[in-house]
C-alpha cells in the first residue's frame, strides 16, 4: 500500500491555504495530489480539473462530474468533501475538488506480490457491486470501471472513483451514445461491436473482467486492438447467436460470422486459481454473458451466494451503516441501499455556450460553499505549486 508522508501546515489568514505535496494518480480528465487540509490537519486528496472551458463539450463533462461528486452519498463511491474557492469569474479556468485520501488502488494490489485470499476477493467484489448498485439506481453509468478506478485502503475499504466518462443512462434506445468509453481490456462486447445504444450492463461486464483478474492475478482479455479483444472474448464464450448481435454494426457482425464457429470454453475459468470454485465461476459466467440483455445486473449479482461471506465480513467490521453495542452487533435494515433519488442532468439543456457554462459552474461552486467551513484555496508559494499547476 502507498505510505503517506508528513506535511507541514502553514499559517493562514482569511481563506485557508493548502500546499500540494505529491501526485498520487492521473484520471481520465485530471490529476490527483495528496494534501493536508489546514483547517483540521486531515490528509485528503485534491483533484485538479484543468482545461475546463476549452469548449462546450468539456464544460458539460466537467460540470456533470462535479455535480456527481457532490451528489454521491455512499461508502463505496468517492464523493466531494469540499471544492476550493474559485477566483473571480474572469480568472476562472480550473476546478479543484477535495475528496477522501485513499492509500492505493486495486490495480496496484493485483500486480503486487502481496497475497490475495478468497476473503479479500469476496469483500472487494462485494463492495464494487454495492457501489455499482448505488450508481445504477441513480441512473448513472460509470463507463470506465477498471482496477485503477477502484481505490482501496489497508483495511480493504473500497471506493469507486473517476467519473470523467460517467453519464446518465439514456432511456431512449434510438438516441446514439459515444463508443469512446471503457478501457479496452474491460470493454463489453456490445461496445466493441459498435452498438449505438447501451445500458448499465456494460459496467457489469467490466466488473466480471475485474473479478477474473482478482482470481488469476492477470488481465483476462489482454488484446492489442478492439478486434483482437473481440476475438479473445469469443474464444472464451464461443460464437454468439445472431440475436446477441442484433445491435452490432455490420462490419463487426460480419467479422464474427466469417470466422470459424467457436464452442464455449468456460471450463478454463476454473484454471484461474484455486479460488475459482464452482460458486465463483458460476457468478463470473453470469457477468460475462455476450448478450447484454441476458447479463446479470449488479443488483442481482449481489444476491449470489458467492458474496454471502463478503457481505458478512463487510458489515461485521468495515461498514459505517452498522455498529456494535455491548450486547452485540446492530445491523442496518438495508445492506445495499439504492440512491434516494435519480441524478438529474436537466441543467445541461440550459448550457448553450462556454461562457454560460463558466457562469453556471462558478455559481454552483459558490452556492455549494455557502454555510460551510472556512473556504480553501491553493497556496501559490508552496514548493510543489509550479509542478501541480502544469
- List, as residue ranges, the binding site for ATP: 47
Query: Does 144 qualify as catalytic in the annotation?
Result: yes
Catalytic residue among 144, 235, 291, 340: 144
Q: How far is CA 132 from CA 86, 125, 160, 294, 359, in A?
A: 31, 10, 8, 18, 32
The CA distances from residue 228 to 169, 193, 241, 371, in Å, are 28, 12, 19, 54
Q: What is the dihedral of CA 66, 68, 73, 76, to 10 degrees?
A: -100
The whole-angstrom distance between residue 126's C-alpha and the CA centroid of its chain comes to 14
Residue burial 186-219, b: 16+ Cβ < 10 Å; e: rest: bbbbbbbbebeebbbbbbbbbbbbbbbbbbbeeb
Q: How far apart are CA 357 and CA 364, in angstroms?
A: 10
End-to-end CA distance of the chain: 27
Query: Any idea of the CA torsion for 116, 122, 126, 128, to the nearest 10 degrees?
Result: 30
480528465: which residue's cell?
A: 29
Residues 6+ apart with CB under 8 A from 235: 262, 265
Name the residues annotated as catalytic: 144
Amino acid at each position: 500500500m502507498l505510505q503517506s508522508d508528513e506535511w507541514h501546515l502553514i499559517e493562514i489568514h482569511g481563506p485557508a491555504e493548502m500546499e500540494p505535496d505529491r501526485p498520487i494518480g492521473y484520471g481520465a480528465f485530471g490529476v490527483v495530489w495528496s494534501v493536508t487540509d489546514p483547517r483540521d490537519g486531515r490528509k485528503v486528496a485534491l483533484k485538479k480539473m484543468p482545461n475546463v472551458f476549452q469548449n462546450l463539450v468539456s464544460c458539460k463533462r466537467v460540470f456533470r462530474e462535479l455535480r456527481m461528486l457532490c451528489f454521491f452519498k455512499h461508502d463505496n463511491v468517492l464523493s466531494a468533501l469540499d471544492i476550493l474557492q474559485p477566483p473571480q469569474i474572469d480568472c476562472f479556468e480550473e476546478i479543484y475538488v477535495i475528496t477522501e485520501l485513499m492509500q492505493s488502488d486495486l490495480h496496484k494490489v493485483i500486480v503486487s506480490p502481496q497475497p490475495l485470499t478468497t476473503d479479500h476477493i469476496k469483500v472487494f467484489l462485494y463492495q464494487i457491486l454495492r457501489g455499482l448498485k448505488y450508481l445504477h439506481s441513480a441512473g448513472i453509468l460509470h463507463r470506465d470501471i477498471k482496477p485503477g478506478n477502484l481505490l482501496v485502503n489497508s483495511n480493504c475499504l473500497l471506493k469507486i472513483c473517476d467519473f470523467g466518462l460517467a453519464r446518465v443512462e439514456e432511456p431512449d434506445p434510438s438516441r446514439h451514445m459515444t463508443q469512446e468509453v471503457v478501457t479496452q481490456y474491460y470493454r463489453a462486447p456490445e461496445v466493441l461491436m459498435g452498438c449505438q445504444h447501451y445500458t448499465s450492463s456494460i459496467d457489469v461486464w467490466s466488473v466480471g473482467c475485474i473479478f477474473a483478474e482478482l482470481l488469476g492475478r492477470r488481465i483476462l482479455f489482454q488484446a492489442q486492438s478492439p478486434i483482437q479483444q473481440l476475438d479473445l472474448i469469443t474464444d472464451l464464450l464461443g460464437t454468439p447467436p445472431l440475436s446477441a448481435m442484433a445491435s452490432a454494426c455490420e462490419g463487426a457482425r460480419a467479422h464474427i460470422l466469417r470466422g470459424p464457429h467457436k464452442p464455449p470454453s468456460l471450463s478454463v475459468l476454473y484454471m484461474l486459481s484455486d479460488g475459482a470454485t464452482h460458486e465463483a465461476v458460476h457468478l463470473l459466467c453470469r457477468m460475462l454473458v455476450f448478450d447484454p440483455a441476458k447479463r446479470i445486473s449488479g443488483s442481482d449479482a449481489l444476491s449470489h451466494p458467492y458474496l454471502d461471506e463478503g457481505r458478512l465480513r463487510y458489515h461485521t467490521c468495515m461498514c459505517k451503516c452498522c455498529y456494535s453495542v455491548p450486547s452485540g452487533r446492530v445491523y442496518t435494515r438495508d445492506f445495499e441501499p439504492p440512491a434516494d433519488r435519480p441524478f438529474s442532468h436537466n441543467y445541461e439543456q440550459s448550457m448553450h455556450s462556454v461562457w454560460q457554462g463558466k457562469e453556471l459552474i462558478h455559481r454552483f461552486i459558490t452556492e455549494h460553499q455557502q454555510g460551510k467551513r472556512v473556504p480553501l484555496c491553493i497556496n501559490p508559494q508552496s514548493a510543489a505549486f509550479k509542478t501541480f499547476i502544469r
